[in-house]
Amino acid sequence: MAENILTLFMLILLQAVLGFDNLLYISLESKRAPLEDQARVRKIGIGIAIVLRIILLYVLVHLIQYFQDPLFEISNISWMEGSFNGHSLIVLFGGIFILYTAVKEIFHLVYLEEHGEAKTEKTSSTKVIVMIVLMNIIFSFDSILSAMALTDVFWVMATAIVISGIMMMWLSNGVSKFLAKNRLYEILGLFILFLVGVMLISEGGHLAHLSFFGNHITPMSKTTFYFVIFILVVVDIVQGRFQKKILKEANKEG
């Protein structure tokens, strides 16, 4: 029991670290829902995702081999080769979609309307909930596989998923409010999301043994990912302070 409790604690920390990009996506995606409905959308989306994560955990525990077995291969194209399985296809799809979402939202932020406000594309709450649930499953795939590498006790993994989901519900409102009050950090968040898409595509390509012109795709390591995020945050903070200093000096001269 002591060993299971220690493993549970480690899994909660693992879920928290791996869930950072998921939380960021949820906060940004929920902005597309009507303003008065955004908090409810986040809670419902995460709640449904918790249940589906546990179901996915159960499926992976019993059917992991089916996700790893090759589904089809590409070998008759001179410049590309690959062997795809269920795991690689899920990760590749998630990476491509997140990359598309990040680029689209960055475009919306830099596209200014006549009144100087960024154009925001609104959609129904139901559609936003569906997207949060789907992307949560994609994000959870690797975290569940990482959990399975630490333990084979189902209740320990399921408990870690529930606790991390509750933490995500609690933090999502705070992150969303912070991004709403600090719009400059929203751009930073979108570029981090862009990196998440690149990381998932590289990981999916590696799982599929993809190669282009004889060059194999190698996955972006978590260490590299978090280091780049750290650099982006530092640059953003320094740039923000520098801009404030310039504005302050300009006001004095004026």
Query: Shortest CA distance to 45 belongs to which of 140, 153, 114?
Result: 140
Q: How far apart are CA 89 and CA 67, in angstroms?
A: 10
pLDDT at 112: 54
Q: Indicate if 13 and 37 belong to the same structural domain.
A: yes
pLDDT at 121: 61
Q: Indicate if 151 and 197 belong to the same structural domain.
A: yes
Q: Indicate if 178 and 145 belong to the same structural domain.
A: yes
Cβ atoms within 10 A of the Cβ of 230, count? 10
Q: How far apart are CA 224 and CA 128, in angstroms?
A: 30
8 Å CB contact between 16 and 160: no
Q: Indicate if 239 and 198 belong to the same structural domain.
A: no
CA 148 vs. chain centroid, Å, equals 20
Q: What angle do CA 62, 93, 8 make, to 5 degrees?
A: 45
pLDDT at 254: 59
Structure tokens of 207?
A: 């799982």
Strands annotated E in 78-165: 80-85
The domain total for the chain is: 2
Q: Indicate if 225 and 130 belong to the same structural domain.
A: no
Q: Indicate if 245 and 200 belong to the same structural domain.
A: no
pLDDT at 159: 85
Structure tokens of 110?
A: 């830099």
Q: Is 79 helix (H, G, I), strand (E, B) or coil?
A: coil
Q: Indicate if 245 and 152 belong to the same structural domain.
A: no
Residues of the chain under the 70 pLDDT cut: 1, 14, 17-19, 109-122, 142, 146, 149-150, 183-184, 253-254
Q: Indicate if 165 and 245 belong to the same structural domain.
A: no
pLDDT at 184: 67
Structure tokens of 135?
A: 């992307």
Q: Indicate if 207 and 174 belong to the same structural domain.
A: yes
pLDDT at 115: 45
Structural domain harbouring 237: 221-254
Q: Express each pLDDT in 200-246 by its tens digit.
A: 888 888 888 888 888 888 888 878 888 888 888 888 788 778 777 88
Q: Indicate if 104 and 182 belong to the same structural domain.
A: yes
Q: How far apart are CA 199 and CA 21, in angstroms?
A: 11
pLDDT at 114: 42
Q: Which residues pair with 77 in a beta bridge?
A: 80
Q: Indicate if 192 and 239 belong to the same structural domain.
A: no
Q: Indicate if 41 and 131 belong to the same structural domain.
A: yes
